[in-house]
Structure 1
Amino acid sequence: MNQRILHVLEYKKIIEQLNEQAASSLGKEKTAALKPSSDLDEVIQLQKETDEAGQVLRLKGHVPLGGIFDIKPSIKRTTIGGTLSPLECLDIASTIYGGRQLKRFIDDMEEPEMPILRELAASLVPLKELEQEIRNCIDEHGTVMDGASEKLRTIRSSIRTYESRVRDKMDSFTKSKSKMLSDSIVTIRNERYVLPVKQEYRGSIGGIVHDQSSSGATLFIEPQSVVDLNNNLQEARVKERNEIEKILKELSESIAEEHAVLSYNVQILGQIDFMFARAKLGQQMKASMPAMNDEGRIKMKQARHPLIGGDEVVPNDIEIGEDYTSIVITGPNTGGKTVTLKLVGLCTLMAQSGLQVPALDGCELAVFKEVYADIGDEQSIEQSLSTFSSHMTNIVDILDKVDHQSLVLFDELGAGTDPQEGAALAMSILDEVVQRDARVIATTHYPELKAYGYNRDGVINASVEFDIQTLKPTYRLLIGVPGRSNAFEISRRLGLKEDVIESAKSHIGVDSQSVENMIASLEESKREAERDYEEAEEMLASAEKLKRELEEKWNQFENQREKLYEKAEQKAEKAIQQAREEAETIVGEIRNMKTQSQMKEHEWIEARKMFDEAQPELAKKKAKEAPAPKKKETKELKPGDEVKLLTLNQQGTIVDQTGKNEYQVQVGVMKVKAKRKELEFVKAKEPYKEKPMATVKGKSFHVKTELDLRGERYEDALNRLEKYVDDALLAGYPQVSIIHGKGTGALRTAVQNYAKNHRSIASHRAGGMNEGGSGVTVLELR
C-alpha cells in the first residue's frame, strides 16, 4: 500500500491508537511498523493471533506484560565486550522475570484452545539462574549490593570505618573551634571532608584549602590531622569502584553467554505484546474478527467508522463483491457519503493489518493487492492545478494501475467541471474500472448516474437517507435505492410559495419526474421491508424465549419425577429389608427345631437363594450393578475432569483424549483406556485458585508431602519443583519426597543439583527401599 492511501484514509490515527495499547517498548516498536499485507495466508494468521489474544482478555481480563524492556542494545554491547551499568543489568533481570511470569500465566490457562500463544510461550527460555545472579548483585534501586562479592563487602566495611573516624575528628573541631567556623557543620569538597573556616582564622587551623565561598569570607579547609584518614578513605573508594566494575564486567560476560537466548526471548515477548495490543484495540472498538478472502467479497453488518465516537457514529450494512462489484452512492452534501467511502477503505486496511473491525460478528472482508482512493479536495496551488485537474491527475494514475485485485474509492467523481461533461466522464471512468473487475464504490451529485446502476451489470445504486421532516440527513446507507433530489420538499418546508414550486416543477422533464417518483417508491418499500424485518426479529426472540421457558419447566418436571421414583424405591427397599430380617429370624427358629435334621444343608441354601431372587430389582440397585450408566452420557470430557469407571466401579481422573470416543483415565496408580460409554461424569476440574497463606504451619496450608515429576519436561519440572519447595517450606514440612523415576537420571541429577544450591534445603538423599529407591529423592528442609 502506498503512503498516500494510508494518509487519505487516516490509517496513521489507527496506528496511534494501537500504539497506546502496547504494554512495552517492544510492542510499541512493532505497532509503529505495522502495514497492511496483501498476502492472504499472512493476513489470516494475523487475524487468528488477534482473536486468540482477545479470547484470553475476555476470560482473564488482563495479561501480565509488566517489567519487560527493550534490552536488545544492551545485549549487543555485551557481545562486543562492553560492560553494562547496574540499571541495564536490572532491566535484563526484570525482562527475564516478566517473560517467566507470562510463560506461567499462559501454561496455567486451561481454556480456550490457544495453539499460537502456547507455542510462543513454550519457546520462552526461563534463564532463572542468570536472573538470580543479577538479583544477588544488584538491588531494586540499581545499586550494587555489599554481598555481590566478599571483597566488596570488606571494602565497604573499611569505608564506613574511615568515614566514622573522619567524622569523629571533624566533630571534635566543630565543638572546640566553633568560634573560628562560619557554621558548626562538616561538609564535602572534592570528595573530601572539610570545615567552613572564617577567613581571619585561616592560620589557626592548619590544613589544605579546597574551596572558598563566593564572598571570600569562608574557606573550606581540610585539617592536617584528617588528611591521612581522608586519603585512606579515597583509596578505599577507588577500590570500591574497581570492584564494582569487576562485578559488572562478570555480569556482562554472563549476559553475553546467553545473548542468543535473550534476543530470541525479547523477540517472542514483543510478538506477544503486539498480539495483545491488537486484541485490546479490538475490545476498545467493540470489534469482531472478519473472515478473510481473496475473491473481493465484503460483507459487514452494522459497520461503524473506527475514528468516529460511539455516540455519534451511525452503523450501516455494507455488501459488495458477490451480486454486484460496484456501488454508486448519490445524495446531498453532508449526508455521510464520504464517511461511508472511508469506512470501507479503512476497515479493509485494518483487516489486512490483522486488526479486528468495528462490525457485528460474521463480517467478511477481502484482501486486495492495492487500495486506491480519490477523496477530498486535492487542489494544488504550487502546481497551479484546479480541483478538477488535480482529481483527474489522480484518477489517470489509478486507471494505469487498477486490476481485478484492487479496491477503488471515488469521491464526487467528475466534480469540478461542466455538469454534463462531468457526468459523461464519470460514467466512462466507472465503465473502465468495472470492466477490469475491480471493486468500486463511488459517490456523485450527478442525477445522470442514478440510472447508471440500472443499465450496467454488476452495478447497484445506493443513497444516504435524508429526513424531510427534520431537514437533516440520517446517515443511514440505503443499498439499492438511488438518492433523489429534495430541493422542492426542502423549499416547501422552508416556506417557499406553492405556485413558485409548481412553476419550477414545470421546467423539469417528464423523465426526471418519473425517476424521482420511482426513487420515492423504492425508499418507501425499503422502509416497509425494514419494519417487517424488525417485527419478525421480535417474534423470533419471543418464540425462542418461550422455548427456553418450556424446556426449563420440562427439566423441572423430569427432576421432580426422578425424585419421586427414588423416594418410592427407598421406601420399598426399606420394607423388603424389614421382611428379609423377619424371614431370617423365622429360618433361624426352624433350624433349631428337630425337623431341621430331616433337611439337608444344600436345600437350605437353595431356599435362601430363591428368597433373594424373589426381591424386585430396584432402579437404584440396577444402576449399581449395570456396567453402563442409566442415561447415555453426552457431556464432553476434558483433561482434569473426575469420572467413574463403570467397568471397575472406581473413580479416576481424565488424563487425555486418545481417540474420538476414547480417553486415558488415571485410576490410583494405574492409567487405563476406556470408551466414553464406560465413563460417568462426576465433576469438572476445579479452576486454579491461589492457596491461602498458612496460619498454622503444616495444618492450614494444603500441600502434599511428595511431588511427582515423572513424565514432565525438564524446564517445566524445575519450575514445578521450585514452586513446590516454596509451598512445602511455607507449610512447615521438615521432609518431602520428590518422585522423578529412574529413567536416564537427568531429572534426578537436576533435582539433586537444585537441592545443593537451595539455602533452605538442609540435605538430600535417595529414597530407601520402602520409599521408592533411586527413583525418589528425599529433601530435608530447614
Structure 2
Amino acid sequence: MELCNCFISISIRPPNFNHTIIRGSIRSFASTSNAHETRKLKLAEELQRDTERILEWQSVCQQVSNFTSTSMGLTLARNGNLPFGRSREESQKLLNQTTAALLLPRPLDFSGIEDISGIVSSSVLRELRTINELCAVMRTLRSARELFLQLKKFSLDGDSPERYSPLLEIFGNCDFLTDLEQKIGFCIDCNLSVILDRASEDLEIIRLERKRNMENLESLLKEVSTKIFRAGAIDSPLITKRRSRMCVGVRASHKFLLPDGVVLDISSSGATYFMEPRDAVELNNMEVRLSSSEKDEELLILSLLTSEIAESERQIRYLLDRILDVDLAFARAAYARWINGVRPILGTESNNSAQPNKTENSLSVDIESIQHPLLLKSSVKSLSTDPVSESECSIELDRGSRAIDPGRLSGGYDFPVPIDIKVGHSIKVVVISGPNTGGKTASMKTLGLASLMSKAGMYLPAKNYPRLPWFDLVLADIGDNQSLEKNLSTFSGHISRICKILEVTSKESLVLIDEIGNGTDPSEGVALATSILLYLKDRVNLAMVTTHYADLSSLKEKDPQFENAAMEFCMETLKPTYRILWGSTGDSNALSIAKSIGFDKKVLDGAQKWLERLKPNNQTERKALLYESLMKDRSMLETRARRASSIHSEIMELYHEIQSEAEDLDQRLAALKKKETLQAIYDVKAAKSQIDAVVQNFENQLRSASPDQFNLLIRKSKAAITSIVEAHYRSNGFAAQGMNNSSYIPQIGEQVRVMSLGDKLATVVEAPGDDGTILVQYGKMRVRVKQINIKAPPSGEISSSATRQKRQGQQHRISKKTTAEANKIEESSYGPVVQTSKNTVDLRGMRVDEASHHLNMAIDASRSRTVLFIIHGMGTGVIKEQTLEILSKHPRIAKFEQESPMNYGCTIAYIKVSEKINLRRRFLGSYEFIDWVIDNSTMYLRGGPLFGLLRDLEFRVSSEKFAVEAVYESSRITLSICKVGEKALLVNSLSSEVIL
C-alpha cells in the first residue's frame, strides 16, 4: 500500500511522544550540537519540568482530562503532558482549534475509538493478534473516518464553513486505511467474534465438509440412540460428546447392545456408559481432522491480517495522533466553557480594530480580572456544565467580555479574588512587595499558569482581551529549595537554582522568582538581588519577583525598565485584600499583622522605635523622585481616559448589533416551536392509524375464531393498543405531563406518585426547594426528584398518615374466610398476560420426580400476582397429572387453567399474593423486629438477621427439629429450628389457622 504524502512532514510524532521534551519550545538552543549546547538543552528541560511542578501544571491538565473523550487523551492529560506550541504560530494554531471546537453546535461522537497502539506494536513484532483485537482496529479506523465526516458535515451545513477549518486541517492528509478496515470486516464478524466462511476458499470448503460429515455422524448416532432407547437401555435418547468425540449413552447393564463400541467415559455413578459405535469411529476421526484443519486455516487468516496491520503501522500511528489532537481540542473547548474562559492574544496578534496600535504606553501584558484556575475548582458548581450555544459563543468570542457568572458558584465565601496584571512594553522587571499572606506568590503563579495555558491553546479565566507575550521558557524559583541530601541550605538552594535559570534564559523567556535574595544578611541579599535583576532585564522578555526589601522597589526610580506593584492591605481590618496596586510600593506591615495576632504591646512599641531609627536619611530625594513618577502616571491616566471614551462609543455600537442578533434568535425560536407542534400532530395521527389497524385486525380474527379464542384475542388486542399508547406517551406526552405537574405543590407528609420511580408511591419529606426538586422517601430510601416527575395520586387511593398508623397498630388475624376473600380479590387483579421465556417452565422430557422439583422451584421463584406457563406436553399424561396435583395443593397458587384448543400441552397457573405479618422475635433475652410471610404452614423470613448469621433466607418444614419461642405482643408462637444438610432452617410448627 502506498503511503500518503503527509508522512514526509517533520511534524509526525508517535503516540508515546513525550511532550515534555519540547515543553519549553527550546528552538533557540538547538542550533548547534556541541557538548555545551547539549548540556544547556538538558538543563532547560529539567528547569522547565520543575517549573511545571511548582506551578501545579499537572493539576490543570487533570482538570482538562475530565473533558476528554478517548483513553489516549485521558492518559495524556492526567499525566500533565498537554502539548505546548513550539512557536507562537503553533500556539496560535492550537488556539484556533479550541475556538473551532467551541463553535460547533454539538460535540463530536468519539465512540468506537480505542488506543490500538499496543496492538500495532505487537503486530510489528509478528505476534499473532486475536479476533477481538483485529475488531478493535477495524472499529477505530471506521470511527476515525466517521469523525472526519462529522466535521466535514458541520463545515458544509454551516453558514461560515471556514470557522471549522482548523479542525479539518488536522485530518488534512490522513489515510484512513479503508482497505484494511474492509479486509477485516470481510473476514471477521465482530458481533459474533468469529471468522467468516468467506475469509478464504479453503476455509469455506473445510467447513462445508465438516458440516456434511457432522450431519452424517449425528444421523448415525441418532439412529443408534433410538434403538437403544426402544430396547429399554436408556430413559431417553442421549447423544453427547466425550473426549472431543461424539457418542451415545447406554446403561451399564445394556452395553452389550454395542458389542464393538468404544467406551469413552463412565458416569460418576457407574450406571451409564458413554460409548462410540463402531460405525461412528471413522466419522469421528474425520471430524477431528477437519476441526484441526479449520483451526490451522483460521490461524493463517489471523496471521495475514496481523501482517496487514504491521505494514500500515506508520499510517495508523499518525492517524491516532490526529484523533488525539481533535480530542484535546474539544477537551480544551469544554474546559473553556467550564471556567467561562476567554481567548488570549499572543504577542503581536491583533483582534480586528478593537485593540489600539502598539505605542510607548501600550501594554505587553494586559490581563484583567484573571483568577487562578485551581482556586476556581472549589467555586464552580460542577464539571461538564451545559455547553454554551453557538450564537452565545460567537458573540462572546468576538467581543471578549466573559467572566464567571456568580450563579454558577457553589458559594460566595470561597470565590477567588480576580487580579489585574498590566505590564508595559518597555518594562522588563516587575518587583512585587507587600505583606505576608497578601497574595504575592499566588499572583506570580497565576501569571505563570496563564503563560503555559496560552501556549497550550487554552482559554484563560479572565475578562475582555487578555494579552501576553509568547514565552519560549517559563522558569520559576518558588518555595524552599533546601536539600539535606545535596548539602544545600535554603539560601544556597535558592541561589543555585537562580544560577541555572540565568544560564538558560533567552530574550523570549519569563522568569518568576519568589523572595529574591532572601535567607542571608539583608544588605548582602539586597546587593545580590539588585545585580541579578539588572542582569535579567537585558536577557529576558519579562521577570517578576517578590520581595520584602524596600531598596529593590527604588530601582524603578532609577531605571524605566523596572515597575513596582504592591499587594493591598486593609489597615482597618488588618487583613489583605489580595488586589494588586500597580505602580505602588507595598509595606510588609509586619507590625500591624503582629498586632492583629495579639502580640505584647511593649514589644510592638519597642519595634516601632527601632523602625524610626532605621529609616533612611534621603527622604527629600525620594520624595522628589516619587513626585516625578506620579506626574508621569497622571499623564498616562489622562491618555487612557481619552481612550476609554473612544472605546465606550464602540461598545454602544456593538450593543446595538447584539440586540439585532437577539431579535433574530427570537424569530428562529418561534419557528422551531411551530415545527415541533406540527411534528406532535403528525405523531398523534400516526398513533391513531396504528390503533385503527389493531382494531381492524382484531375484527378480522374475531370472525374466524372459535369461542375459546375470544378471551385470548381480546387480551392480545388490549396489550397491543396499550403498547402503542405508551410508546406515544414516552415520545410526546412526557413533557406535557411535566408541565401539568409543575403547578402541583405537595405538602410534607403527603403521599405522591413518582414517575421516575416507576409511578410508585412515596412520602414527601421536605418542601420543594428553589432548584425545583423535592425530597421523598420510598421505603427505606430517600431520594431527591424533580417536581415535574411528581403527581398527586387519585382521590381515595391513599389514606391519611394517622389512619395508616392506626391500622398498623392493630393485630392481624388470619382465617379461612379472609384468606378466601383475599384470593378472590387477587384473582381478579391479573391483567393481559403474554408468554415469555421468563414466565415459562418446560417439563417435557423429564422424569416425574425431576419435573416436580423443577415446577416447585419455578413457583417459589415467581413473583406475586404473576402468571406461570407450565409446558408438560401430551405424551402419556403422567407429567400432566403430577403437574395438576402440585398446582391443586401448592399454597402459592391462586388458580390454574388447563390446556385449551389454543394451547395444547400447557397449563397456566396464577401466583397469589403472600400476606406479610410483622412479628417480634425473642431470642436469648433480646427483641428484634422482622417480617414474616405466611403461606399455609410455611413461613418465610424476609430481612433481619437470624442469630446474627443468616439473612434474607426462606425457611421450610423439615425433620430434626428443636423448638424456640417467638413472642408477638400477648400471643406466643412455637417455631422450630431444623437442620437440613449444611443449612439451618426456621419453620412454623403450628397450623395455618393460628391467630396472632
Q: Is the 8 A contact 1:192 1:230 kept in 2?
A: yes
Deviation at 1:261, TM superposition (A): 5.9
User: Does residue 141 of structure 2 align to residue 90 of structure 1?
Assistant: no
User: In structure 1, what is the equivalent of residue 347 of structure 2?
Assistant: 293
CA RMSD, 1 decimal: 5.3
Which structure 2 segments of 5+ residues have no match?
1-23, 25-44, 350-362, 380-413, 665-674, 687-996
Code of the aligned partner of 1:53: A
Deviation at 1:379, TM superposition (A): 0.5
Code of the aligned partner of 1:233: E
User: Does residue 193 of structure 2 align to residue 142 of structure 1?
Assistant: yes
Deviation at 1:410, TM superposition (A): 0.7
Deviation at 1:345, TM superposition (A): 1.6
* CA distance in 1 between partners of 2:116 and 2:594 (Å): 68
SS in 2 for 1:451: helix
SS in 1 for 2:135: helix
> Match for 2:215 among 161, 166, 175?
161
* CA distance in 2 between partners of 1:178 and 1:423 (Å): 110
* CA distance in 2 between partners of 1:13 and 1:511 (Å): 45
> Match for 1:9 among 40, 43, 55?
55
* CA distance in 2 between partners of 1:446 and 1:167 (Å): 101
Deviation at 1:320, TM superposition (A): 2.4
> Match for 1:283 among 337, 340, 358?
337
Which structure 1 segments of 5+ residues have no match?
557-634, 636-685, 697-782
SS in 1 for 2:581: strand
Deviation at 1:66, TM superposition (A): 1.9
Deviations 1:406-451 (A, max 9, x none): 2111111122223333233222322222243541111122344343
* CA distance in 2 between partners of 1:76 and 1:494 (Å): 63
Indicate how the Cα distance of structure 1 residues 544 and 457 shifts in structure 2: closer, same or farther if over 3 A, else same.
Answer: closer
* CA distance in 1 between partners of 2:319 and 2:654 (Å): 54
User: In structure 1, what is the equivalent of residue 298 of structure 2?
Assistant: 244
Q: What pairs with 1:265-276 in structure 2 (closer than 5 Å)?
A: 265-276=319-330
User: Does residue 584 of structure 2 align to residue 481 of structure 1?
Assistant: yes
Deviation at 1:342, TM superposition (A): 1.6
Q: Is the 8 A contact 2:266 2:274 kept in 1?
A: no
Q: Is the 8 A contact 1:454 1:460 kept in 2?
A: no
Code of the aligned partner of 1:305: H
> Match for 1:351 among 454, 464, 467?
454
User: Does residue 366 of structure 2 align to residue 307 of structure 1?
Assistant: no
User: In structure 2, what is the equivalent of residue 397 of structure 1?
Assistant: 500
Deviation at 1:235, TM superposition (A): 2.9
Deviation at 1:211, TM superposition (A): 9.6
User: In structure 2, what is the equivalent of residue 429 of structure 1?
Assistant: 532
* CA distance in 2 between partners of 1:227 and 1:485 (Å): 99
SS in 2 for 1:362: strand
Deviations 1:563-622 (A, max 9, x none): xxxxxxxxxxxxxxxxxxxxxxxxxxxxxxxxxxxxxxxxxxxxxxxxxxxxxxxxxxxx
Farther off after superposition, 151-160 or 278-287: 151-160
User: In structure 1, what is the equivalent of residue 144 of structure 2?
Assistant: 99
Deviation at 1:47, TM superposition (A): 2.3
Q: What pairs with 1:582-597 in structure 2 (closer than 5 Å)?
A: none
> Match for 1:66 among 111, 115, 120?
111
User: Does residue 289 of structure 2 align to residue 235 of structure 1?
Assistant: yes
Q: Is the 8 A contact 2:225 2:249 kept in 1?
A: no
Structure 2 length-normalised TM: 0.46
* CA distance in 2 between partners of 1:174 and 1:307 (Å): 80
Indicate how the Cα distance of structure 1 residues 427 and 144 shifts in structure 2: closer, same or farther if over 3 A, else same.
Answer: same
User: In structure 1, what is the equivalent of residue 867 of structure 2?
Assistant: none
Q: What pairs with 1:616-627 in structure 2 (closer than 5 Å)?
A: none
> Match for 1:114 among 164, 168, 187?
164
Farther off after superposition, 199-208 or 481-490: 199-208
Code of the aligned partner of 1:224: E
Q: What pairs with 1:506-545 in structure 2 (closer than 5 Å)?
A: 506-509=609-612, 512=615
* CA distance in 2 between partners of 1:173 and 1:456 (Å): 113
Q: What pairs with 1:176-195 in structure 2 (closer than 5 Å)?
A: 190-192=243-245
SS in 2 for 1:301: strand
SS in 2 for 1:445: coil
Code of the aligned partner of 2:276: Q
User: In structure 1, what is the equivalent of residue 694 of structure 2?
Assistant: none
Deviation at 1:490, TM superposition (A): 4.2
Q: Is the 8 A contact 1:189 1:211 kept in 2?
A: no
Deviation at 1:390, TM superposition (A): 0.8
Farther off after superposition, 252-261 or 228-237: 252-261
Q: Is the 8 A contact 1:22 1:274 kept in 2?
A: yes
Indicate how the Cα distance of structure 1 residues 403 and 269 shifts in structure 2: closer, same or farther if over 3 A, else same.
Answer: closer
Deviation at 1:179, TM superposition (A): 11
User: In structure 1, what is the equivalent of residue 89 of structure 2?
Assistant: 41
* CA distance in 1 between partners of 2:317 and 2:262 (Å): 56
Deviation at 1:348, TM superposition (A): 1.4
> Match for 2:102 among 31, 46, 54?
54
> Match for 2:275 among 223, 231, 240?
223
Code of the aligned partner of 2:460: V
> Match for 1:381 among 463, 481, 484?
484
Code of the aligned partner of 2:191: E
Deviations 1:748-772 (A, max 9, x none): xxxxxxxxxxxxxxxxxxxxxxxxx
SS in 1 for 2:195: coil
Code of the aligned partner of 1:434: K
Indicate how the Cα distance of structure 1 residues 321 and 30 shifts in structure 2: closer, same or farther if over 3 A, else same.
Answer: farther
* CA distance in 1 between partners of 2:311 and 2:488 (Å): 62
Farther off after superposition, 355-364 or 117-126: 117-126
Q: Percent of aligned positions with the same letter in both sequences? A: 28
Deviation at 1:375, TM superposition (A): 0.9
Deviations 1:724-749 (A, max 9, x none): xxxxxxxxxxxxxxxxxxxxxxxxxx
Indicate how the Cα distance of structure 1 residues 168 and 297 shifts in structure 2: closer, same or farther if over 3 A, else same.
Answer: farther
* CA distance in 1 between partners of 2:659 and 2:199 (Å): 70
Q: Is the 8 A contact 1:139 1:145 kept in 2?
A: no
Deviation at 1:387, TM superposition (A): 0.6
User: Does residue 456 of structure 2 align to residue 411 of structure 1?
Assistant: no
Deviation at 1:452, TM superposition (A): 3.8
User: In structure 2, what is the equivalent of residue 748 of structure 1?
Assistant: none
User: In structure 1, what is the equivalent of residue 917 of structure 2?
Assistant: none
* CA distance in 2 between partners of 1:92 and 1:5 (Å): 39
